[in-house]
Chain A
Amino acid sequence: MKKYLTFTVKAFQRTLTYRFELWMELFINVLFMLVYVYLWKALYTGRTSVEGYDLNRILTYIVVSQTLLTFTFTLRITRIIEEKVRTGEVVTDLMKPIDFQLMTLATAAGTSSHTALFNMLPKFLLFYGVFGLSLPSSLLMVFLFIISVVLGYVILFSIEFIIGIFAFWVVEIRGLYAFVIWGLAMLFSGYFLPMEFYPTFLAKIAAVLPFRAIIYFPTAIYTGQLIGERLVTALLIQLTWVAALVGFGRLAYRAAFRKLVIQGG
């Protein structure tokens, strides 16, 4: 376990190098979130509640989901794996007595905890303060929210990991990445609006895909939209996706590595 933690710490430290970049990124992220917050404020003028969301709850939803979306565009797992395969650097990883998938996850966790601490938390607090958002209803909910965020993160990671592993077979995977992450995930994760607002047929498609488990579930737990039995179901769905996608990722990279050996590197 300790050796994996080293990857996490190193990745965390590496991100500290580019301060200016991080500040600018934060500034632009805030601009992004302002667009959506003011859009919803304008939409809600003269209304009290739509689909069970009053203004405060919808703003909370938008800010939390936009904050969680940061993981999607800062996680660069696909790109990192693709580059390792293309340059052949992946061979040195294979020689190490470690699990490739776990090592990649540990590295990603390092970068992402930095993002969470220095990008997501400050911008969330800023919006929380300025727009008077709400907190989860109890400490238990905060706890369940964090669990759900972590599960969603592992799902996002696993999807990116699997796409990255495809690089062993096809050299160019940017297309697949753009299609899945910028197409499907954006549409079905619920970052733009809560699932309750989706037209029925879109909501039906979303229900069989893993993407709503990345953003919608944790956010809806935060806002109190998912409670009781539905909350438990949501967490179970997340766990199932984690198991399935992590498992598939392992199978995929084992097959990929076997292929690599056959070719002789």
Chain B
Amino acid sequence: MVRRYFKLYFLLAGAYVRSRLQYRLSFGLMCFGIVISEICLLGLLGALLAKFRTVNGWTWAEVVFLYGLGNLAYSFMRILGSQLDDFDRYIVRGELDSVLIRPVPPLFYILASRIELIHVSRALTSVVIFVVAFHLSGIRWTLGVALFTFTTILSGTLIMFTLMLISATVALWTTKSGKLTDLLISATKEATAFPISIYPLAVRLLLTFILPVAFVTYYPAQQLLQKGEFLGMPELFQFGAPVVALVMLCVSYLFWCSGLRRYHSTGS
């Protein structure tokens, strides 16, 4: 069963990758563009912190650490979940109808039909950025740290994915969602690049409980960087990422299912 799905996934995703690689120059330019923009943004961040030294007591290395961590989760999510980006296309063009009659779960089919290798370039850049920042922040690699980092990145990817899924699902009610999903995920990603201690309480609560992206970077970083900066939240939050990811996974999948149940074709 599981093996069948794996095979199916690679079959579908592989077809998409092959079609993308037909336009090699464009593919290359896009990868190049992403890498350049990542490096440049980092350069600007560097220029900024060279002037100011610290943000709320966080050094450049520590901010880059946060940025790299968020970016890693973001790029993995982008590789696997790009299809949710313009999911409303399925509804506007009536393509969802044909997905619903296939003998696989609709969400599986939708995700499998596109795997965006362009974002591998972002992931690789992020890995380099993260590893360097990791080193500069003075963290020692031990088995425990490695495991914790791995879990954090995995949970972060899932949390970002579920936010994407929830905002894509909204289109089942409203038909069109435009750039909404893309915007939401970019905004939350941006928000996690900096220590949330710079925001007022309302924004911190928003990023902790409603769009829980603080669990992608900020809280796990407390454990890795030993900052001990919890802003009145329970210290347990530093280990909270996997739990939040699981809860979000359930919530978003239920939301998706209820959206599908009430879905009516646009008839176009």
Task: Report which A residues bind B (CB closer than 8 A).
Answer: 18, 20-21, 24-25, 28-29, 31-32, 34-35, 38-39, 41-43, 45, 47, 50-51, 73, 170-176, 178-180, 182-184, 186-187, 192-193, 197-199, 202
Contacts and interface: CB of A to CB of B under 8 A. Distances in A.
B168 to A, nearest CB: 13
Given A32-B187, A35-B191, A21 B177 contact: yes
A28 B29 CA distance: 29
Contacts of A176: 26, 29
Interface string B170-181: 000010111110
Contacts of B55: 39, 42-43
Contact of A179 (B32, B43, B56, B174): B32
Contacts of B44: 187, 192-193, 198, 202
10 shortest interchain CB distances as A-B pairs: A179-B33, A175-B26, A175-B29, A175-B30, A172-B23, A172-B26, A42-B198, A187-B40, A183-B33, A183-B37
B183 A28 contact: yes
B108 interface: no
A228 to B, nearest CB: 26
B228 interface: no
Contact of A193 (B25, B29, B48, B187): B48
Contacts, number: 122
B18 to A, nearest CB: 14
Contacts of A171: 23
A209 to B, nearest CB: 13
Nearest to A198: B47
Contacts of A25: 178-180, 183
Contacts of B177: 21, 24
B28 interface: yes
B233 interface: no
A24, A29, A180, A192: most-surrounded residue (chain B CB, <10 A): A24
Interface in B177-236: 177-180, 183-184, 186-188, 190-191, 194, 197-200, 203
Interface residues of B, number: 42
A17 B28 CA distance: 37
Given A28-B180, A34-B203, A178-B34, 20 more contacts: A32-B186, A35-B191, A38-B199, A38-B203, A42-B55, A42-B56, A42-B198, A43-B52, A50-B52, A172-B22, A172-B27, A175-B23, A176-B29, A179-B29, A186-B37, A187-B37, A197-B47, A197-B51, A198-B47, A202-B43
A15 to B, nearest CB: 10
B210 to A, nearest CB: 11
A35, A47, A199: most-surrounded residue (chain B CB, <10 A): A35
B29 to A, nearest CB: 4
B174 A21 contact: yes
A178 B178 CA distance: 18
A50 B187 CA distance: 27
B102 to A, nearest CB: 26
Contacts of B51: 50-51, 197
B58 to A, nearest CB: 9
B48 A43 contact: yes
A187 B36 CA distance: 9
Given A187-B41, A199-B43, A32 B190 contact: yes
B211 to A, nearest CB: 9
Given A192-B41, A197-B51, A31 B191 contact: yes
A109 B22 CA distance: 35
A31 B187 contact: yes
Nearest to B175: A18
Given A25-B178, A183-B37, A183-B40, A175 B25 contact: yes
Contacts of A18: 176, 178
Nearest to B37: A183
A73 B37 CA distance: 16
Contact of A182 (B28, B37, B52): B37
Contacts of B52: 43, 47, 50
Nearest to B174: A20
Given A38-B203, A178-B34, A28 B47 contact: no
